[in-house]
Structure 1
Amino acid sequence: MWMCISLRAPCANGTLRGLQVSRRCWRQQQPLAIKIARLSTASAVEGLDALSTSKRILYEQEQNRQRSLSDPEGFWMEAQRAIDWVQPPTRALDLPSDPAQLHKAVWFPDGKLNVCYNALDRHVAGGRANQTALIYDSPVTGVVRRYTYTELLHRAIQAATMLRRNGVRKGDRVLLYMGAVPEAIVTMLACARLGAMHSVVFGGFASAELAKRIDDCHPRVIVASSCGVEGIGKCVPYKPLLDAALKICKHLPQKIVVLQRPQLPATLNPGEESWQDAVDAIDDSALYSACEPVASNDPLYILYTSGTTGAPKGVVRPSGGHAVVLQYTMERMYACAPGQVYWAASDLGWILGHSYICYGPLLNGSTTVLYEGKPVDTPDPSAFYRVMAEHNVTTFFTAPTALMILRREDPHGAYRDQYDLSHVKAMFLAGERCLPEIQRWWLRHISGNANVNGAIQPITTPVRNVVSDNWWQTETGSPLTGIQVGLSEDGSKLPPIKYGSAGLPVQGVDLRILRIKDEFDEDSVVDANPEEAVPGEIGNIVVKLPLPPGIMNTLWNDEERFFTAYFRRFPGYYDTGDTGMVDSDGYVHILSRADDIINVAAHRISTGSIEEVVVEHPEIAEACVVARPHSIKGSVPVVIAVCKHHCQHVTKRQICEDLVTSIRDRVGPFVSLYPQNVVFVSRLPKTRSGKVLRKMIRSMIVYIMHNPTYSSSNCPIPTPATIEEEAVKYEVWDSVREWSAANPSSK
Structure 2
Amino acid sequence: MPATIENLLSENRVYPPSAAFRAAANVDAGEYERAAADPVAYWERQADRLDWAERWHTAHVWEPAIPLSREEAAAQVGADPADPGFTGLDDDGRPLLSIPHAEWFVGGRLNVAVNCVDRHVEAGRGDTIAITFEGEPGDREQITYAELQRRVAQATNALEALGIVAGDRVVVYLPVIPETIVITLAIARIGAIHSLVFGGFSAEALKFRVEDTGAKLLVTSDGQFRRGQAVAVKANADAAVSGPASTVEHVLVVRRTGELTPDIPWTPGRDVWFHDAIAGVADTHEAKYFDSEHPLFIIYTSGTTGRPKGVVHTSGGYLTQASWSHAAIFDAKPDDVYWCTADLAWVTAHTYVLYGPFSNGATSVIYEGTPNTPHTGRHFEIIERYGVTTYYTAPTLIRTFMTWFPDGLPPHFDLSSLRLLGTVGEAINPEAWVWFHEHIGGGRAPIVDTWWQSETGSAIIAPLPGVTVLKPGSATLALPGLRALIVDEAGAEVARGEGGYLVIDGTWPSMARGVWGDPARFRDSYWKKYAEQGYFFAGDGAKYDADGYIWLLGRVDDVINVSGHRLSTIEIESALVSHPAVGEAGVVGVSDAVTGEAIAAFVIPSREVTALDAADPAFWAALELELGSLLRAHVARQIGPIAKPRDLVVVPDLPKTRSGKIMRRLLGDLVDGRPLGDTTSLQDDTVPARTAAILAARSA
Q: TM-score, normalised by structure 1?
A: 0.83
State how far apart, in whole Å, the 2-side matches of 1:97 and 1:180 are: 38
Superposition pairs of residues 224-235 of structure 1, within 5 angstroms: 224-232=220-228, 234-235=229-230
2:421, 2:441 within 8 Å by CA — same for their partners in 1? no
C-alpha distance 35-128 of structure 1, shift in aligned 2 (>3 A) = closer
State how far apart, in whole Å, the 2-side matches of 1:655 and 1:443 are: 28
2:523 alignment partner in structure 1:
563
Matched, 1:85 2:52: yes
2:456 alignment partner in structure 1:
476
Corresponding residue to 1:664 among 612, 621, 636? 636
Corresponding residue to 2:146 among 142, 145, 150? 150
Q: 1:424 is aligned with what amino acid? A: L
Offset at residue 593 of structure 1 (A)? 0.2
Offset at residue 48 of structure 1 (A)? 10
SS at match of 2:495: coil
Matched, 1:502 2:479: no
2:40 alignment partner in structure 1:
73
C-alpha distance 563-97 of structure 1, shift in aligned 2 (>3 A) = closer
Superposition pairs of residues 268-283 of structure 1, within 5 angstroms: 268-283=266-281
1:37 alignment partner in structure 2:
6
SS at match of 1:297: coil
Corresponding residue to 2:385 among 385, 390, 394? 390
Matched, 1:168 2:149: no
Offset at residue 276 of structure 1 (A)? 4.1
SS at match of 1:575: strand
Q: 1:354 is aligned with what amino acid? A: H
Offset at residue 505 of structure 1 (A)? 0.6
1:289 alignment partner in structure 2:
285
2:374 alignment partner in structure 1:
379
SS at match of 1:497: coil
State how far apart, in whole Å, the 1-side matches of 2:309 and 2:340 are: 24
Post-superposition CA distance 1:525-571 (Å, at most 9, x none): xxxx52221112110100112x1111111111111111011100111
Q: 1:318 is aligned with what amino acid? A: T
1:673 alignment partner in structure 2:
645
Q: 1:400 is aligned with what amino acid? A: P
2:493 alignment partner in structure 1:
532
Indicate the larger mover: 179-188 or 274-283. Answer: 274-283
1:199 alignment partner in structure 2:
195
- RCO (CA 8 Å, sep 6+): is it higher in 1 or 2? 2
State how far apart, in whole Å, the 2-side matches of 1:95 and 1:384 are: 44
Offset at residue 34 of structure 1 (A)? 4.5
SS at match of 1:209: helix
SS at match of 2:551: strand
SS at match of 1:413: coil
State how far apart, in whole Å, the 1-side matches of 2:201 and 2:118 are: 33
- Percent identity, please: 32
Offset at residue 467 of structure 1 (A)? 2.2
Indicate the larger mover: 556-565 or 581-590. Answer: 581-590
Structure 1, unmatched stretches of 5+, are 1-31, 52-58, 450-463, 489-493, 517-528, 705-715, 743-747
Corresponding residue to 2:514 among 549, 554, 575? 554
C-alpha root-mean-square deviation of aligned residues, in Å? 2.3
1:515 alignment partner in structure 2:
488
Superposition pairs of residues 200-279 of structure 1, within 5 angstroms: 200-232=196-228, 234-248=229-243, 250-261=245-256, 262=258, 263-265=260-262, 266-279=264-277
1:544 alignment partner in structure 2:
505
Offset at residue 269 of structure 1 (A)? 1.2
Superposition pairs of residues 354-503 of structure 1, within 5 angstroms: 354-376=350-372, 378-415=373-410, 417-449=411-443, 464-485=444-465, 488=466, 494-503=467-476
State how far apart, in whole Å, the 2-side matches of 1:613 and 1:249 are: 52
2:304, 2:663 within 8 Å by CA — same for their partners in 1? no
SS at match of 2:296: strand
State how far apart, in whole Å, the 1-side matches of 2:219 and 2:591 are: 46
State how far apart, in whole Å, the 2-side matches of 1:34 and 1:203 are: 42
2:91 alignment partner in structure 1:
none
1:698 alignment partner in structure 2:
668
2:312, 2:513 within 8 Å by CA — same for their partners in 1? yes
Structure 2, unmatched stretches of 5+, are 18-25, 68-97, 610-618
1:722 alignment partner in structure 2:
681
Offset at residue 203 of structure 1 (A)? 1.4
Offset at residue 339 of structure 1 (A)? 4.1
1:341, 1:367 within 8 Å by CA — same for their partners in 2? yes
Offset at residue 67 of structure 1 (A)? 3.6
Aligned residues: 647
Matched, 1:601 2:563: yes
Offset at residue 330 of structure 1 (A)? 2.0
2:563, 2:595 within 8 Å by CA — same for their partners in 1? yes
SS at match of 2:338: strand
State how far apart, in whole Å, the 2-side matches of 1:173 and 1:133 are: 26
State how far apart, in whole Å, the 2-side matches of 1:277 and 1:509 are: 45
C-alpha distance 645-98 of structure 1, shift in aligned 2 (>3 A) = closer
1:35, 1:603 within 8 Å by CA — same for their partners in 2? no
SS at match of 1:618: coil
1:94 alignment partner in structure 2:
61
Corresponding residue to 1:635 among 597, 622, 645? 597
1:476, 1:551 within 8 Å by CA — same for their partners in 2? yes
Post-superposition CA distance 1:605-640 (Å, at most 9, x none): 101111111112221111111111111211110110
Post-superposition CA distance 1:407-434 (Å, at most 9, x none): 111222343x223222211110010111
Q: 1:693 is aligned with what amino acid? A: M
State how far apart, in whole Å, the 2-side matches of 1:533 and 1:332 are: 29
Corresponding residue to 2:656 among 686, 693, 701? 686
C-alpha distance 33-135 of structure 1, shift in aligned 2 (>3 A) = closer
Indicate the larger mover: 685-694 or 645-654. Answer: 645-654
Offset at residue 288 of structure 1 (A)? 6.2
State how far apart, in whole Å, the 1-side matches of 2:166 and 2:509 are: 22
2:20 alignment partner in structure 1:
none
SS at match of 1:397: strand
Q: 1:497 is aligned with what amino acid? A: L
Offset at residue 651 of structure 1 (A)? 5.9
State how far apart, in whole Å, the 1-side matches of 2:645 and 2:354 are: 44
